[in-house]
Amino acid sequence: MGKPTGFKEIARETPTRKSVSLRVKNWLEIYEPMAEQKLRDQGARCMDCGIPFCNNGCPLGNLIPEWNDLVYKGRWQEAIEMLHKTNNFPEFTGRVCPAPCEEACVLGINEKPVAIKLVEQNIIERAFEQGWIRPRPPAVRTGKKVAVVGSGPAGLACAAQLNKAGHSVTVFERADRIGGLLMYGIPQFKLEKHVLERRVKLLEAEGIKFVTNANIGITLPIETLRRDFDAIVLCGGSTQARDLNVPGRELKGIYYAMEYLPQWNRIALGEKVPADKLINAKDKHVVIIGGGDTGADCLGSAIRQGCKSVKQFELLPKPPEDRTGPGVAPWPYWPMIFRTSSAHEEAIEIAGGDVRDFAINTKKFAGTEDGVVNKLHGIRLEWVKGDAGRMQMKEVAGSEFELDCDLCFLAMGFVSPEHNGPIQQLGLALDPRGNVQVDENYQTSVPGVFAAGDMRRGQSLVVWAISEGRQAARGVDQALMGRSDLAYLKLF
């Protein structure tokens, strides 16, 4: 390493967030740029630890110490080449990944870890600025044709790798724009859509074809793809949202998060939504049920719309503040600890206190005579160990409450992929959770049909989806050609 004592001399530093009062007035990304020297200093904190657990913490196996060192030395062009060896889309992961690599950083055992995610994002952005990112179509085509169904991070990564191997790839997307949840699920303040569109244009220039408004198995028969392509890769995601089966669920004003977030991404992109279809939090009492990232995305969106009040409820108890809490996974594993996102920061400043509450169970909704929700009835929970040692929830007597609720968003995660369409029509074998079952080469129970991403592993992270797409691409290449030179990580 160029700076062996860097981690002793330089403190961890991340970009300054724009002031809350400024950033909630628009839908733009919230971070200020950092000076190059500060970025190189952060690269210098990488401590050449001998066994870089950060590589294992990252589902992509990113070569993190190598590109940290290159950034410290100012060798940015070599850094992007090193980063692209394992990650097709660092501009996505550098923005929305929760950075499991940082939790696995050796420095993080007793100090603040290296700012890996920061360095990663700035490598790719500098590369685009300098013109180092150019289309690289394959020199030779194999004559094989592959259909990729779904254009989220798994589908895009799979397509990119298969195209690199020389196959002719067509990506089918049921929405009207490419990107899946990158386009319509993640708000602009976390991922501005021009970043996604920039990459899609690059993939097109490299020879990948994109077809939108193509709902495979519904508007376009799966047998058409079976006839026209040598292989099919299903990357449709885990899109069956978890529902809340309580009295009053049928009232107007209660929506899945993925009914709400895509609409406001469309509005941010300049589309008009009819007034009778608009889901707007302005001047409303909002309740978000679900304490994860999707709930936080709803929170940040509702704040930007000018909600009157907002609460976010989580069924589970409040996590501990750090790894020293009981039951928290030890280093280098990902710990379930209390985290405050930028949206929570905004809500705290505006509301004058944290809007989150934990160990809350929603019992029912009440509404007006017109059938519109106006109250949420809940109760507090205590989590106790049952006879088998598993934690069980127990209602706290006398803790019932009601809360004004003009608008409620259900952000409780996703249970499985949608089974109508290709899964049912092909008769694909499923695992006990309802996900598509595959072999070690990502091939399903039907020869020539592969699956990857959340459709295979269940609801997960963008970085896992990219990894899944890369691994599936290698499986397809192996099946079509009898061998593959595409990179491979044995993940299961």
| pTM given for the model | 0.96
Contact 361, 381 (CB under 8 A): yes
The first and second tokens of residue 5, run together, are: 């004592």
Q: Indicate the angle between helix axes 153-164 and 193-205, nearest 10 degrees.
A: 20
Q: Residue 3: what pLDDT?
A: 85
Question: Same domain for 59 and 21?
Answer: yes
Residue 235 above 70 pLDDT? Answer: yes
Q: Indicate the angle between helix axes 116-129 and 64-72, nearest 10 degrees.
A: 60
The first and second tokens of residue 454, run together, are: 């959340």
pLDDT band at 1 (very low <50, low <70, confident <90, very high): low
Question: Same domain for 280 and 380?
Answer: yes
Question: Same domain for 435 and 398?
Answer: no
CATH of residue 265's domain is 3.50.50.60
Question: Same domain for 235 and 282?
Answer: no
**CA atoms of 456 and 238, how far apart (whole Å):** 8
Contact 158, 233 (CB under 8 A): yes
Q: How far is CA 131 from the centre of its chain?
A: 27
Residue 34 above 70 pLDDT? Answer: yes
Contact 396, 381 (CB under 8 A): yes
Question: Same domain for 336 and 406?
Answer: yes
Question: Same domain for 324 and 272?
Answer: yes
Question: Same domain for 250 and 363?
Answer: yes
Query: What is the pLDDT averaged over residues 148-152?
Result: 98
Question: Same domain for 408 and 422?
Answer: no
**CA atoms of 465 and 458, how far apart (whole Å):** 10
Question: Same domain for 314 and 446?
Answer: no
Strand residues in 173-224 grouped as ranges (E): 209-211
Q: Residue 422: what pLDDT?
A: 96
CATH of residue 53's domain is 1.10.1060.10
**CA atoms of 314 and 331, how far apart (whole Å):** 25
Q: Is residue 139 part of a domain?
A: no
Taking the CB of residue 405, how many other CB atoms lie within 10 A of it?
A: 26
Residue 324 above 90 pLDDT? Answer: no
Long-range contacts of 381-384 (CB under 8 A, 24+ apart): 381/315, 381/317, 383/316, 383/317, 383/359
pLDDT in tens, 393-449: 999 999 999 999 999 999 999 999 999 999 999 999 999 999 999 999 999 999 999
Q: How far is CA 209 from the centre of its chain?
A: 24
Say which residues have a Cβ less than 8 Å from residue 201's Cβ, sequence separation at least 6.
Answer: none
**CA atoms of 328 and 306, how far apart (whole Å):** 36
Mean residue pLDDT of the chain comes to 96
Q: ω before 335 within 30° of 0 (cis)? A: no
Closest-CA residue to 478 (of 167, 236, 88, 168): 167
Residue 489 above 80 pLDDT? Answer: no
Contact 203, 160 (CB under 8 A): yes
Residue 492 above 70 pLDDT? Answer: no
Strand residues in 386-485 grouped as ranges (E): 391-395, 401-404, 407-410, 414-416, 449-451
Q: How far is residue 214 from each of residues 237, 375, 425, measured CA to CA in Å? A: 15, 40, 16
Q: Is residue 1 part of a domain?
A: no
Q: Is residue 82 part of a domain?
A: yes
Enclosing domain of residue 300:
243-412
Question: Same domain for 408 and 424?
Answer: no
Query: What is the pLDDT averaged over residues 373-390?
Result: 92
Residue 299 above 80 pLDDT? Answer: yes
Query: What is the pLDDT averaged over residues 187-197?
Result: 98
Task: Characterize 273-294 residue by residue with b for buried, 16 or more Cβ atoms within 10 angstroms of its Cβ, and e for exposed.
Answer: eeeeeebbbeebbbbbbbbebb
Taking the CB of residue 463, how many other CB atoms lie within 10 A of it?
A: 23
Question: Same domain for 34 and 177?
Answer: no
Total tally of structural domains belonging to the chain: 3
